[in-house]
Structure 1
Amino acid sequence: MTQILSPAEAPPTPRSLPRIVGVDIARGLAVLGMIAVHTTSAEQIGEFAHFALSGRASILFAVLAGVSLTLTTGGTRPPERLGAARRSIAARALALFVLGLVLTQLGSPALVILTTYAVLFLIALPLLRLSWQRLALAAAVAAVAGPLLSFAIRSRMTSPDVAGESARFEMLTSIDGVRHLGSVILLEGTYPVLTWVPFLLAGMAIGRWGLRRERVGAVLVALGSTLAVLGLGGSWVALNLFGGKDALVAFLDKSMPGEGVQMLSFMLRSSGPGVVGTDPWQWMLTSTPHSGTVFEVVGSGGIAIAVLGLSLLAAGIAPRLLTPLAALGSMPLTIYAGHIVVLVLVLRSESFTYSWALPVSFLVVPLVFATMWRRYLGRGPLEWALNKIGAGAARLGSRPAVS
């Protein structure tokens, strides 16, 4: 007697599927963008560049996570039986959650996003059968309803002592801690699930729609650009033409008379803690990174979709030139976790002094490492481990076959 999976039940593995180079390129850009935010400041790379990368690189990664979920569960046609695939995804989510807690425990200045990704994967499990049309509709509804529901719930809660927290091991040591952990993950953290679900759903819709279609890159660029204009442009209109900015300036002037205009200008050029304040309600008209408003979700989500489209176009124009970026994008977990560990070690070194060598090294070394590892060893080490965990979980519950 041996334990096997039927062909319909066996989840496809990344090695058995032809890779879409454009997706790897986009994923590589997302990882490099997050590294750049973690190792530089606005003064070093320019205020606009830092503002453009903050939040949006991680959103691109979340969209691509949704794409990957659908690509590895049948692409445009999900298999009839998804039990094994769901067990595999759930096991990987648990591993990501634990890894996220471990990386946070190291004390890195970089806020770790893996716990949010893990919960998003679990949320996706019952949605894997949905068509791209239903996934797109769900993403659209969540993009509006998620931020509004978050705002409504938080309006009735006491303001947190710390804004933009990350999940930590010590939150699991008491009932109150677990409640706080749930609030951080779902509502109040830097990457609150309630306002990040639309990004995953959008990626899943794109994956189900199909990335091997003719002119898919151009379509995604057009769609993403339209959403970016609607989100970011809509925020500008609401703030400047419908009194949103005046209301916020008046509110800020109450605490610092005469400084409201300057304070608001600074805040609109800065990254938020994950969600906006609930008083006054006009904070919901902003679209700054990590603000969690409808305008930010739509606008930044649109930017992510457009970048994916551009990456698909670039892959068709200069695939060899972009090989290092695609190699990095094929092992994002290894590079992401690795850069956090190394960053902690560097910053704890007594001989550390900041120079441009830090961000340059953190951007160049991963490209070289990924290129060489991919060429000679294949799958990244953490990707390999996660694949083993998922494959083991997929075999659980499989029916025995007579040998």
Structure 2
Amino acid sequence: MRRASPTRTGSGPRGAEETAPAGRSAGSGASGGRLAGIDAVRGLAVLGMFAVHVGPGPVPEGAGYLLVAADGRAPALFTLLAGFSLVLAQRGPDPARRPQGWARRWRPLLIRCTLLAVLGVWLASLWPGILVILAFFAVYFLAAEPFTRLSTPVLTAVAAVSVVAGPLLSFLLGPVFGYGASGRGLVPEAADLASWSGLGTVLLELLLTGAYPLATYFPYVLAGMALARLCDVRERSVARRMAVWGTVAAFAGYGSAWLASHVFGARQRLLEAIAVHHPEALSAADPVREVLQGQYGAVPSTSWDWLLVADPYSQTPLETLGNAGVGCALIGLCALAARHGVGARLLRPLTVLGAMALSAYVVHALVLAGPAHGAASWSAWLAFSGAALALTWAWQLVWADSPLRRGPVEHVLRLATSGRGRA
């Protein structure tokens, strides 16, 4: 039986194991600073994910603004970093340097994606109270491989087009498959794989109607890939420009949505559409947010004005632009901070956590499926955050001279895809 979409959402783990161990990269020169800065951003995304999963509701007042800032941006940031990481893993911007031949190109990727998908389906079946993203990440990585061979100008153009084309496909194709007003926002579970019809449902969720479908989240991957090609954050000036232009993009995305909603009447037209297609949401404090909470990752197809909002998880062009801008700015800022000894030391706990984000994700999902099921408070967020920072730090100290320093789950993936004898 399919369960209804929960009111909380999942976030993503570390994208690809491209970085050096956090404990050895921070402050170790330009290249190390670049990698430490990226892991630090990923560590921030982990803390944001905890805030969404176990923190109180995002109320825009006082400390609640921290939760508002994390709401909807954590999975977007993870996915953007996944694309960024894929390009860094190439060890150079030239696509011609990638391994040739089917076996060298696809076999490790297929193994990694299969393991991620199996792990994601298993965690989702435990009912941890979150929408597990790992199976979707497997699809992102498979879809991204052909794009890694595009030239930088073509990749950049494709990424820009996808920001609009992906949400538009979600809007237009939803009604074609019977999801015009409801039924979206689920994740694949083990029970879905027991029949052919269930397999078809899983495929549709992964591509179009799920919580993090390819249609609306893959633009983040492409944007991250384009950023990594265009911006070598080893250069201080480039990192500074990323911080500035990322901020501009964020204001452009969120600001345009605010103007459309409050100046040009889009919100009023949405309320009228909600009265017709989602009458049950009218009693909520924010009917627009109430509808979007049941449509994670998909754009509702009941009004064209849905494409003009930028609320969390709306996955419209404007929200995608705003979220990508936030990610770009954070990468630039953390790369700048990681270039200096003091900044690298301050970022070190986040860098270590970000380097082991996949392990942290799996462990936190298991805890939510058991002793912490239903947790939703500031104390729960502090407990999860403190435990994650302390345990990942201790793990890196204990396994400092071992391949296990990357994290237990990361190490298993690396062994499965590269073999014990490969670096």
If the length of structure 1 is used for normalisation, what is the TM-score? 0.86
Residue of structure 1 equivalent to 2:355: 330
Residue of structure 2 equivalent to 1:5: none
Q: Note if 1:366 corresponds to 2:388.
A: yes
Residue of structure 2 equivalent to 1:145: 165
Distance (Å, rounded) in 1 between the aligned partners of 2:421 and 2:318 = 39
- 1:288 and 1:271, CA in 2 relative to 1: closer, same or farther beyond 3 A? farther
Greater shift, 123-132 or 83-92, is seen at: 83-92
Residue of structure 2 equivalent to 1:230: 252
Given that 2:249 and 2:322 are in contact with CA atoms closer than 8 Å, whether structure 1 keeps it comes out as yes
Q: Note if 1:53 corresponds to 2:70.
A: yes
Residue of structure 2 equivalent to 1:81: 99
Residue of structure 1 equivalent to 2:83: 66
Report the CA distance between 1:346 and its aligned residue. Answer: 1.2
Residue of structure 2 equivalent to 1:219: 241
Query: What amino acid is the match of 2:90?
Result: T
Residue of structure 1 equivalent to 2:43: 28
RMSD after superposition: 3.0
Distance (Å, rounded) in 2 between the aligned partners of 1:207 and 1:38 = 29
Residue of structure 2 equivalent to 1:278: 301
- 1:228 and 1:15, CA in 2 relative to 1: closer, same or farther beyond 3 A? closer
Distance (Å, rounded) in 2 between the aligned partners of 1:65 and 1:13 = 10
SS at match of 2:388: helix
Say which of 177, 194, 198 aligns to 1:173: 194
Report the CA distance between 1:119 and its aligned residue. Answer: 0.3
Residue of structure 2 equivalent to 1:4: none
Given that 2:185 and 2:211 are in contact with CA atoms closer than 8 Å, whether structure 1 keeps it comes out as yes
Query: What amino acid is the match of 1:368?
Result: A
Unpaired segments ≥5 residues, structure 2: 1-16, 26-30, 400-404
Distance (Å, rounded) in 1 between the aligned partners of 2:214 and 2:117 = 13
Distance (Å, rounded) in 1 between the aligned partners of 2:381 and 2:388 = 11
Identity of aligned residues (%): 34
Report the CA distance between 1:256 and its aligned residue. Answer: 5.8
Say which of 312, 319, 326 aligns to 1:303: 326
- 1:263 and 1:345, CA in 2 relative to 1: closer, same or farther beyond 3 A? closer
CA deviation string 1:353-387 (max 9, x = no partner):
87644221100111111112112312211111111
Distance (Å, rounded) in 2 between the aligned partners of 1:366 and 1:173 = 35
Report the CA distance between 1:286 and its aligned residue. Answer: 1.0
- 1:237 and 1:88, CA in 2 relative to 1: closer, same or farther beyond 3 A? same
Say which of 116, 121, 133 aligns to 2:136: 116
Residue of structure 2 equivalent to 1:401: none
Report the CA distance between 1:270 and its aligned residue. Answer: 6.8
Residue of structure 2 equivalent to 1:398: none
- 1:134 and 1:43, CA in 2 relative to 1: closer, same or farther beyond 3 A? closer
Greater shift, 308-317 or 380-389, is seen at: 308-317
Greater shift, 35-44 or 52-61, is seen at: 35-44
Report the CA distance between 1:135 and its aligned residue. Answer: 1.9
Number of aligned positions between the proteins: 382
Report the CA distance between 1:243 and its aligned residue. Answer: 2.5
Distance (Å, rounded) in 2 between the aligned partners of 1:59 and 1:191 = 9
Given that 2:170 and 2:299 are in contact with CA atoms closer than 8 Å, whether structure 1 keeps it comes out as no
Distance (Å, rounded) in 2 between the aligned partners of 1:195 and 1:87 = 27
Residue of structure 2 equivalent to 1:399: none
Residue of structure 2 equivalent to 1:204: 225
- 1:263 and 1:71, CA in 2 relative to 1: closer, same or farther beyond 3 A? closer
- 1:48 and 1:321, CA in 2 relative to 1: closer, same or farther beyond 3 A? closer
Report the CA distance between 1:155 and its aligned residue. Answer: 2.9
Residue of structure 2 equivalent to 1:158: 178
Distance (Å, rounded) in 2 between the aligned partners of 1:15 and 1:326 = 11
SS at match of 2:149: coil
Given that 1:88 and 1:392 are in contact with CA atoms closer than 8 Å, whether structure 2 keeps it comes out as no
Greater shift, 75-84 or 62-71, is seen at: 75-84
Given that 2:257 and 2:309 are in contact with CA atoms closer than 8 Å, whether structure 1 keeps it comes out as yes
Q: Note if 1:185 corresponds to 2:190.
A: no
Given that 2:55 and 2:375 are in contact with CA atoms closer than 8 Å, whether structure 1 keeps it comes out as no
Q: Note if 1:316 corresponds to 2:339.
A: yes
Given that 1:333 and 1:382 are in contact with CA atoms closer than 8 Å, whether structure 2 keeps it comes out as yes
Given that 2:37 and 2:331 are in contact with CA atoms closer than 8 Å, whether structure 1 keeps it comes out as yes
SS at match of 1:128: helix
Given that 1:87 and 1:393 are in contact with CA atoms closer than 8 Å, whether structure 2 keeps it comes out as no
Given that 2:257 and 2:318 are in contact with CA atoms closer than 8 Å, whether structure 1 keeps it comes out as yes
Q: Note if 1:248 corresponds to 2:270.
A: yes
Report the CA distance between 1:315 and its aligned residue. Answer: 1.4
Query: What amino acid is the match of 1:287?
Result: A
Residue of structure 2 equivalent to 1:194: 215
Given that 2:42 and 2:81 are in contact with CA atoms closer than 8 Å, whether structure 1 keeps it comes out as yes
Given that 1:252 and 1:260 are in contact with CA atoms closer than 8 Å, whether structure 2 keeps it comes out as no
Distance (Å, rounded) in 2 between the aligned partners of 1:48 and 1:56 = 13
Given that 1:73 and 1:85 are in contact with CA atoms closer than 8 Å, whether structure 2 keeps it comes out as no
CA deviation string 1:60-106 (max 9, x = no partner):
11111111111111232341534424432232111111111111111
Query: What amino acid is the match of 2:199?
Result: V
Distance (Å, rounded) in 2 between the aligned partners of 1:208 and 1:43 = 35
Residue of structure 1 equivalent to 2:3: none
